[in-house]
Structure 1
Amino acid sequence: MALRSRKQKFFLFLKILAALLLLAMAGMYFFRDMLLQKAIAKVKSKFDSEYNCHFSVKKAAFIGATGVELHDIVLIPKEADTLLSVQNIKTSYNILELLTGDIQLKNLEMNNGFIQLVKNKNGRNFDAFLNGHKEEKSNEKRNYAKLVYRLLSKALNLVPTEMKLKNLSLRMDDMGRKVTLHMNDLRLEDHQLQTAINVKTNTFSQNWNIKGFANPREKKADLKFFNSDTSKIQLPYIDERFGLKSSFDNIHIKLDKLEMESGELHIDGFTSIENFTINHPKIAKKDVVIKNARFDYRFLLGRDFISIDSTSSAQLNHIKVHPFAEYNTEEDTIYKLKIRIPKMKAQDFITSLPQGLFTHFEGMEAEGNFDYKLNFEYNKKKPDNLIFDVKLNKENLRIVKYGEANLAKLNGEFTYRAIENDVEQRPILVGAGNPNYTPLDQISPYLEKAVLTNEDPSFRRHHGFINEAFKQSIVKNIRTKKFARGASTISMQLVKNVFLTREKTLSRKLEEILLVYVLENNRIATKSRMLEVYFNVIEWGPNVYGIGEAAHFYFQKSPSDLTLNECLYLASIVPKPKKFMWQFDDEGNQKSYAQKNQNYIKNLMLRRALITSEDTIGQSAPIYISGRARSFLKIKVVQDTIPAETNLADEFDF
């Protein structure tokens, strides 16, 4: 009897709870219009007080049991251009989801409207929404996985499973640089998305198409972007704003997985692009074209880290790369990067390089195989412990045909022309036919030792690059947050001078690195020959090329007769040869900072046993510029004058 009584009480409780829920739902249903108006008034007050914006809805009403319709929605920042205007919005909701706060839109219809972002001399009409509100500081560490999952889930829940959008535009006006993306009709039905977008800027007009699968509830998508005709899709705005022209045939984006597993967020999918073209004077002088590129990604986010998993892969034509990248804050802030290129044919690598980015490699042919590994790790609290390791394993690798940059010409006579500001300078014959050309054995040995000490001490031992120098360069650049230090070797300077232009582009720097590797690792020229060419082509002053010209220009000597002090001076001006005159005062004497620099080089040479104390005997006399270079010094002219009233005849008693 007691058991039955407890059961009866339980069922009675359920009935009462159900009745209360029904009563609450009924109350919400009957008073929902009033609740809707209150909600709109609350939103209006929030926009006014927190964002200094006027928000209005001309008409709002419920349709049926779960639908709502809004008319003439407008958002206008005060004293600025309209930010949003929509004539009509219809949507539906789930009452239980409304009660729990986990709102998922079922369907959405939106007609005749625009979002407008404007920047002009009066400011930006969206500034109030960028400033935001500072969150209260908390000692609790941010959980990256939960944060990103929550944000992505909320965003995807607001994407309806069924959608019809008509006559909507996104407008941008950045100081007269205008872009309009107009969508006549977008439909999402049975998880199939289709739309056409008219893109109009000050410089072009195109029609883009988007088609594919989209399921926001399952968090999956498979979409393609392409042009309605056979031309490439051009990216708007960035051409006018940054001078960067970019286009592509199509982009394919797929999201396979977005879910939490054991406290980690997994995001899997891929992105591919065809005939991606980019043009900018800081990248290269011509169009850079990537025919096919694909990134199969697996992002992992945990409590203390964000990473690209090593199972991810990136493919550039025939080049396949397995990357691993991680940002970790578990103890210290640590950045990690690992890159692995599995064994591949050297020729496939050459032909897969982006067109226009490596013009000096066009036509090059190679045999053999190689694989590559890079390991980089940087601890923000322990910068000096930086890890930078590179391994390249070669298998019968050799160059059988050179491209535009014929590195073998270093071994014979050739004509060199420096390029300054895109203008070719006078031709310099590198060979015996030039009376100023000086073989290495006819150059004072002090010069080789001084220049190598100052520029590249391990030149005769390294293979074009110095890992430790790269490490120190990276550490300093990270600390200063700018490119404050390079790690250039004499091999790199030689390639840059003889085969490349002085243009400061990404293309030239990448070509320099690859050409140096080919030169140094294929035994194309000996170290002595490379140094001999280097001394005979580098600039030593304004329109002064090669050590033969330099020795006469400064000291009216032959390179073999240069003293230790003179060689130290010449080594000190190699980095900035055209500014040599600033080392001297108005009396033609070398300034103290220049003398200290030369003494520093000399002391390094002594410590490294490159010279002995006997070599320094008689070398304490100051540098005296006697050649044509003296005319470049800012020397004051002191003239002795005879007073005008002096009579020469009286003076000498004529």
Structure 2
Amino acid sequence: MKTKKQKIIRILIGIGIFLVLLIVLFFAFRNTILDKAIDRIANKMERDYDSKFTVKEASFQGLTGVSMQEITLVPKGQDTLFSIQKMETSVSFWHIITGNVQLGTLHVENGFVQLVKKGDVKNFGKFLKRDASEANLSSEKSEKRDYAELAYNLISKGLNLIPTDMNVKNLAFRLDDNGKKANIKFNELRLADKQLETSIRVQTNTFTQRWKIKGFADPRNKKADIAFTNIDTGAIKMPYFDERFNLKSSFDSIRVNVENIDMSGGELHIDGFSSIKNLTVNHIKIAKKDVVIKDARFDYHLLLGEDFVLVDSSSTVMLNKIKFNPFLEFNTEEDTIYKMKVVIPEMKAQDFITSLPEGLFTNFEGMETEGNFDFNLSFIFNKNKPNDLVFDSKLSKNGFKILKYGEANLSKLNGEFVYRAIENGRAQRGVLVGNANPNYTPLSEISPYLRKSVLTTEDPSFFSHKGFITEAFKQSIIKNIKTKKFSRGGSTISMQLVKNVFLTREKTLSRKLEEILLVYILENNRIVSKERMLEVYFNVIEWGPNVYGIGEASNFYFQKHPSQLNLNECLFLASIVPRPKGFMWKFDDQGNLRDGAVKMQNYLTNLMLRRGVLTADDTIYKSFPVVVSGRARSFIRIKEIDSTAIDSVEISDEFDF
């Protein structure tokens, strides 16, 4: 027994001696080892990235400190990627041995990092490329990745590289994208005793500002609470995006809080919040004017597992007075599935109206309501089973009532008003919607064939839905996802009416959101009857170049009153609703319908017969040709058109029946 203990003691002593010798040798030759390490990095930069990495002077300082002078990285034939005059840092020797590298201190003086693009050539481009073997290896690994472990390792390694004691002076980040420039200079950045404070100067081609970042930062315990504010008066402007994307944005302050990052039971929990004050955004695709969000906050609870990433429903989003609970999930356990649920608990309708971002819902500004509502939305998409898409929404009202309309007075549809179409941002001639207009046609005087044809092509369930067709939205989403573009919409006659009468034709996020909300209010508050909506629709929509309303259209094409139109003429008119200015493309140079247009009419007729909208007796005169006798004929005669232009168009491209 004693002999065994003695052997163990001797082994431990031997290991101790070996470690001591190893440490002594390391400290004896550590500068040589450091030089070799720098040489390896330089060789790799030259071999793999055709770049020159140099360090003029490098040495150890004290037990764990490293000092380097004049560090540069220059891609061959390109602008310098980065240059630092002086850098000192310390790394725990024991952490190096265990592989858990942690920076203790970091002091940087006088340097810059710059990203330069000249034409299509980037000085950082070679660092973005990977060879085929690396890409294939990454693809193979991605199928087996553990999202929780991957995220935790990345976060841990990243935070370990943030020193607990940091002092950075005169370090600039420069961006030059073919003359679009931004220079963000850290005059001084200090992190000491877990307190972070910076002084930043931002300069672009269009403005100069001074920013400040201040707060609490504890990288070792994975916690932070940092505020981003402006030293000068006014809002903080975002650099570069205004010149590069014509996107102007600013804010008063941003706060980011990380309260907890914890890995347990194979799951990663990340908790905290972020907030922003007076966010202002201006872009032609968003709205015609500035969009302002005064106060927004996101209290997040993120959860990552082996095969999922989700935002837990205990998270909350505050948008002014609007508060809701989002649930988002990406899951690859069996199939690739995307889930989204949004729950808005019961709230005052007026609080909702006043909380809408300024500039995004101009037609609602000034609206007054009473009562409450709550809302639920559910969305599930299986990438491998796209046709099983789930899209459900439910809005419940409690005493909801509109006391005063905003800019869009929906009740005007019940009386006479002047309609002006908007073309290329300009209001067109006024069209009186009322009996004083000789071309105005009441619904009862419009050929029933035209009513049936247009309803079949544009909105078969118009008289039964509440402004939206859930199934149409589902099919639109499915097709848009498959084609990876907005190739199909789910527009109803209600939506077209609101768009024509109250909105412009601009393709902005603002206009689409306003359209959805206005349609919901119109259809769900008994403001206008369905019959009246359809009557106004027929009398305001465009039927050709400067032709508005069915009264003008009947005369323009056939020199008839709308009540006298036959089936074939109605089928033709229904077919041009999506593209009225291109009606002449349906005819040859003799004034006869092309084969493709005839096939379209036959398809529509058979569809209406199958649905019981038409009877066999209605088609007795179906063989009669469509003869354009009005002013429209002059448009046809001056066109020489390739016959394949229409014949090649698929039915589904023009109509979503």
Shift of residue 201 of structure 1? 0.3
Specify the SS of the correspondent of 1:310. Answer: coil
The Cα of 1:615 is off from its aligned counterpart by 1.1
Residue in 2 aligned with 1:647?
none
Which of the numbers 295, 316, 326 marks the counterpart of 1:323? 326
1:619 paired with 2:619, answer no
State how 1:105-184 maps to structure 2 within 5 Å.
105-121=103-119, 123-133=121-131, 134=134, 136=137, 138=140, 141-184=144-187
Letter of the aligned partner of 1:325 in structure 2? Answer: L
1:324-403 equivalence runs, <5 A: 324-403=327-406
**3-state secondary structure, aligned to 1:76:** strand
Match of 2:128, SS?
helix
Q: In 2, Cα distance between the equivalents of 1:378 and 1:128? A: 37
Q: Structure 1 CA distance, aligned partners of 2:447 and 2:590?
A: 29
Partner amino acid, structure 1, of 2:450:
L
Gaps (5+ residues) in structure 1?
Answer: 638-654
Q: Residues 454-503 of structure 1, C-alpha deviation per residue, up to 9 Å, x if partnerless?
A: 10000000000000000000000000000000000000000000000111
The yes-or-no answer on 1:602 pairing with 2:618 is no
Scaled by the length of structure 1, the TM-score of the pair is 0.96
Q: Decide whether the 8 Å contact of 2:584 with 2:639 is kept in 1.
A: no
Letter in 2 for 1:480: T
Alignment partner of 1:485 out of 488, 491, 503: 488
Shift of 1:604: 1.6
- Report the counterpart of residue 652 of structure 1 in structure 2: none
Structure-1 residue corresponding to 2:419 = 416
Tell me the equivalent position of 1:191: 194
Asked if residue 566 in structure 1 is aligned to residue 569 in structure 2, the reply is yes
Say yes or no: does 1:227 pair with 2:230.
yes
* 2:649 matched residue in structure 1: none
| Structure 1 residues 582-626: Cα deviation after superposition (integer angstroms, max 9, x where no partner) | 000011100011111112221121112112111111231110000
Q: Deviations over 1:422-441 (max 9, x none)?
A: 11110000001101001111
Partner of 2:6: 8
Q: Does the 8 A contact of 1:587 with 1:635 survive in 2?
A: no
Is 1:77–2:80 an aligned residue pair? no
Structure 2 unaligned spans of 5+: 641-657
Distance (Å, rounded) in 2 between the aligned partners of 1:522 and 1:636 = 48
Alignment of 1:286-297 (within 5 A): 286-297=289-300
Q: Bigger radius of gyration, 1 or 2?
A: 1
Give the equivalent residue in structure 2 for 1:587: 590
Change (3 A) 1:286 1:30: same
Give deviations 1:131-165, integer Å, cap 9, x for gaps.
Answer: 13515254661111111111111111000000010
Distance 1:480 1:277 in 2: 32
Instruction: Please tell me whether the aligned partners of residues 166 and 186 of structure 1 are also in contact (alpha carbons under 8 angstroms).
Output: yes
How far is 1:635 from its partner?
5.8
CA distance in 2, matches of 1:511, 1:339: 19
Divergent runs of 4+, >4 A: none
SS of residue matched to 1:41: helix
Letter in structure 1 aligned against 2:360: L
Q: 1:97 aligns with which of 95, 107, 110?
A: 95
Kept in 2, the 8 Å contact 1:275–1:291? The answer is yes
Equivalent of 1:25 in 13, 23, 26: 23
* Letter paired with 1:64: G
* Matches of 1:95 and 1:619, distance apart in 2: 92
Matching residue within 527, 534, 539 for 1:536: 539
What pairs with 1:383-532 in structure 2 (closer than 5 Å)? 383-532=386-535
**Whole-angstrom distance in 2 between the partners of 1:171 and 1:382:** 46
Q: Structure 1, residues 493-534: CA drift from partner, whole Å, max 9, x if none?
A: 000000001111110000000000000000000000000000
Aligned equivalent of 2:653: none
TM-score where L is the length of structure 2: 0.95
Looking at structure 2, the residues matched to 378 and 92 of structure 1 have their Cα atoms a distance apart, in angstroms, of 49
Amino acid at match of 2:309: I
C-alpha offsets along residues 164-200 of structure 1, whole Å, 9 cap, x if unaligned?
Answer: 1011100110000010001111110000000011000
Secondary structure, counterpart of 1:98 in structure 2: helix
Change in Cα spacing, 1:636 to 1:141, as seen in structure 2 (3 Å) is closer
Match of 2:554 in 1: 551
**2:564 aligned partner, one-letter code:** D
Distance between the aligned counterparts of 2:38 and 2:506, measured in 1? Answer: 59
Offset at residue 9 of structure 1 (A):
2.5
**Quick one: distance in 1 between partners of 2:34 and 2:392?**
63
Which residue does the alignment assign to 1:41?
A: 39
Cα distance in 2 for residues equivalent to 1:399 and 1:113: 61
The alpha-carbon deviation at position 65 of structure 1 amounts to 1.1
The letter for the 1-side match of 2:42 is: K
Judge which range, 195-204 or 593-602, deviates more: 593-602
Who is 1:86 aligned against?
84
Let me know the Cα RMSD of the aligned residues.
Answer: 1.2
* 1: CA distance, partners of 2:481 / 2:13: 67
* Distance in 1 between residues matched to 2:583 and 2:342, nearest whole Å: 43
Counterpart contact for 1:295–1:314, Cα < 8 Å: yes
Query: How far has the Cα of 1:636 moved from its partner?
Result: 8.5
Q: In 1, distance between residues paired with 2:576 and 2:314?
A: 50
SS of aligned partner of 1:97: helix
Match of 2:242 in 1: 239
Map Cα deviations across residues 51-100 of structure 1 (whole Å, 9 max, x no partner).
11101111111111111100111111000000111011111111111112
Alpha carbons 2:337, 2:382 under 8 Å: kept? yes
Once the two structures are aligned, what percentage of the paired residues are identical?
A: 62
What is the identity, as a one-letter code, of the residue corresponding to 2:44? K
Aligned residue for 1:68, secondary structure, equals: strand
Inter-partner Cα distance in structure 2 for 1:579 and 1:394: 44
State the alpha-carbon separation in 1 of the partners of residues 519 and 175 from structure 2.
Answer: 46
Would the aligned equivalents of 2:287 and 2:511 in 1 still touch at CA under 8 Å? yes
The partner residue of 1:263 within 248, 263, 266 is: 266
CA distance in 2, matches of 1:604, 1:185: 73
Q: CA deviation at 1:301?
A: 1.1
Partner of 1:373: helix, strand, or coil? strand
Matched with 1:649 is none
Map of 1:648 onto structure 2: none
Q: Is the 8 A contact 1:343 1:370 kept in 2?
A: yes
SS in 2 for 1:633: helix
**Partner in structure 1 of residue 286 of structure 2:** 283
User: Aligned partners of 2:74, 2:579: CA distance in 1, in Å?
Assistant: 57
Paired amino acid for 2:158: A
- What is the alpha-carbon distance in structure 2 between the residues aligned to residue 398 and residue 576 of structure 1? 38
Contact 1:277-1:287 within 8 A present in 2 as well: yes
